[in-house]
A and B are shown apart, each in its own frame.
Chain A
Amino acid sequence: MLRRRMAALAAGAAALMVAAGCGSAGGSGGGDSITLGFAQVGAESGWRTANTKSVRQAARDAGIELKFSDAQQKQENQIKAIRSFIQQRVDVIAFSPVVESGWDTVLKEAQRADIPVVLTDRAIDSPDTSLYETFLGSDFVEEGRKAGRWVTEEFGDAEGTVRIAELQGTTGSAPANDRKQGFAEVIGNDAKYKIVASQTGDFTRAKGKEVMEAFLKSAGEIDVLYAHNDDMALGAIEAIEGAGLKPGEDIKIVSVDGVKDALQAAADGEINYVVECNPLLGPQLMDLVKKVAAGEQVPKRVEVEETAFDQQAAEKALPDRKY
């Protein structure tokens, strides 16, 4: 394994050199197979890595030629990549925007070159929706609603107030805003559900644990924990154990994402419900790309197929989980 990492390191360095020299090597497209230019955000999380793998695999399976670029979480890199895709005259451009705004100029260039654009996973904030054909991504608000619905079902018969603690994602990020909103929408219908503590855990395990430790001491009794992602829930589990309580029993836990570690925790009874946020959108993306390249009409908004896991479902899904 160590050796494999070293090999990956060397390969990474080699790829960098190749990338530096291949800017002018384009000129494909127009043939019988479809060429897709895909500008990825980066490799900032396990979720993202799974997302990349899925896109690569699906392109291979669908016989689509994939030109892949990694923006290392920088918008300028992504704009550069899109420009180079335009120069290379790819058939379709797909990308996950690093940030929401600032895309109008480069997308207009694509439009002028007659190359359709598909957004994946994240949306852009532009009044001109003609700049892209369709947006394929998760509905974060719906994810929040699913979590909320589970809480109202689980505690439907409970008497008295249900005290909820919430671990929010990175302040201002779309998933954090939307998951909070969707959850609040559902539990807001009944006054017995009360969010007694809500704070950001920055989507990380370390912060999730730190914040939960403070909640346990300052927020009084907590019945349910709602975490905007799995990592924060995993950190919080440790905090709850440290307080001598049993996660999943004394405090019920619902979280969003569905990474392997969280499904494992659910199978072990420590998390009660995991709402999926599916990174494996490759096959759906390739379908859309084919349709768009053929000039077919596609809906402006396509949702990724997603599910949710209770503890039994998690145990069943665990062996096939890739990320």
Chain B
Amino acid sequence: MTVLRSLARHRLFWPAAVMAVLLALNVALTPSFFSIQVRDGHLYGSLIDILRFGAPLILVALGMTLVVATRGIDLSVGSVVAISGAVACLWISELPEQNSVAGVLAALGIALGVALVLGLWNGFLVSVIGIQPIIATLILMVAGRGLAQLVTGGQIITVNSGPYRLLGGGYWFGLPASIIVALGMVAAAALLVRRSALGMLVESVGGNPEASRLAGIRSRRILVVVYAWCALCAGLAGLMISSNVSSADGNNAGLWIELDAILAVVLGGTLLSGGRFSLGGTVLGALLIQTLTTTVYTLGIPPESTLLFKALVVTAVCLIQSPAFRARLSRRRRPPAPTAGRSQRDAATEAEVTA
């Protein structure tokens, strides 16, 4: 019982619980939901789909987590997704031999390079010029979509390249390549921020940039690095999305993914007010969102009510995650509330999250 209680107190308990409920709902309606078969030498099943389609969102949200930890936000990730896919597909479509591995690698490198430059631009605007993050990245969010369409010439560029397909639609060791890459990036990020001082510096800049600066932290440099990292993650996600369908769609690729990414970050327990973040929570949040999407398809919810259904689930997760809400619920059941002091303090942090 005490184990259960301490488990329930874990920050990620409630998102995980909702995920379990969603999965159970799927199994109840589609008994074969958990079945994983081997087809054409790779794993095949609904759970694998969730991982595969969730991978780009995990990446975007991973980059977003660090930005949010510095009390910032990056709205331009969707445009970066579109641009990097467009650049890569344009390059590959001009290759004399689309299946050449060297050519595809060059395309990936160029696309990621472009993404990095866009990230540096965001970082420059935020840290050097001092524009508020939401405005600074809004510029690229709007302009970037146009840029992507210029690159594709307003058309959908279709490529036919085996090596390029691998990244988003292929398999390594029977597992989707995209999820391996995404988890690799998560592991790299975790190592970097938790095994070096970087994570602490990021949290410190997010907690109080002025105090951090006075303490001798080069907060400008940290901010630039964080925005560049976020754009790099988004660029990689863009390559996956476009590789998965072997085409680049400047108009629709990554549309609104910034909102899903922010949602994943928040569901994972990272404070929008900066200063504290959880990479594991973000991964869980992203997978929860993808599970929700898959559930909509499996349940056959009519498209008109899809958004409503998603909104209800997300609201439920947010409410149930809030200690203040839970305290109120249990108080209604059991009149005496011994933990009132604690829940009030938590309510204050919760108010910060929602603010």
Contact = CB atoms under 8 A, between A and B. Distances in A.
Interface of A: 1-2, 5, 8-9, 12, 43-46, 48-49, 168, 171-172, 197-200, 202-206, 209-211, 213-215, 217-219, 231, 234-235, 238, 242-244, 261, 323
B275 interface: no
A302 B169 CA distance: 44
B176 to A, nearest CB: 10
B300 interface: yes
Given A171-B304, A217-B30, A238-B169, A5 B153 contact: yes
Q: How big is chain B's contact interface, by range? A: 35 or more
Given A205-B249, A206-B241, A218 B40 contact: no
Among B90, B245, B293: residue with most chain A CB under 10 A: B245
Interface string B28-49: 0110110000011000111001
A171 B306 CA distance: 10
Interface in B153-170: 153-156, 158, 169
A224 to B, nearest CB: 17
A213 B283 CA distance: 22
Contacts, number: 105
Contacts of B247: 205, 234
A238 B300 CA distance: 21
A9 B150 CA distance: 7
Nearest to B168: A206
Interface string B232-272: 00000000010011110101110000000000000000000
Contacts of A168: 303
Interface of B: 29-30, 32-33, 39-40, 44-46, 49, 53, 90, 93-94, 149-151, 153-156, 158, 169, 241, 244-247, 249, 251-253, 293-294, 296-298, 300, 302-304, 306
Contact of B249 (A171, A204, A210): A204
B310 to A, nearest CB: 13
Contacts of B294: 214
A204 B154 contact: no
Contacts of B32: 217
Nearest to B293: A210
Contact of A204 (B155, B246, B252): B252
Contacts of B53: 210, 213
Contact of B156 (A172, A199, A231): A231
Contact of A217 (B49, B156, B249, B253): B49
B257 to A, nearest CB: 11
B149 A206 contact: no
A214 B49 contact: yes
A193 to B, nearest CB: 17
Contacts of A217: 30, 32-33, 45-46, 49, 298
Contact of A213 (B49, B249, B304): B49
A48 B154 contact: yes
A243 B39 contact: yes
Among B90, B149, B153: residue with most chain A CB under 10 A: B153
B249 A206 contact: yes
Contact of A209 (B39, B46, B244, B252): B244
B156 A243 contact: no
Contact of B245 (A9, A235, A323): A235
A206 B245 contact: yes
A206 B29 CA distance: 25
26 contacts: A5-B151, A5-B153, A12-B150, A43-B154, A45-B156, A46-B155, A49-B155, A197-B300, A198-B303, A199-B296, A200-B303, A203-B252, A205-B247, A205-B249, A209-B245, A214-B49, A214-B294, A217-B49, A218-B30, A218-B46, A234-B247, A238-B169, A238-B244, A242-B169, A244-B40, A323-B155
A202 B298 contact: no
A1 B94 CA distance: 7
Among A1, A9, A49, A210: residue with most chain B CB under 10 A: A210
A113 to B, nearest CB: 32
Contact of B253 (A48, A199, A206): A206
Contacts of B306: 171, 200
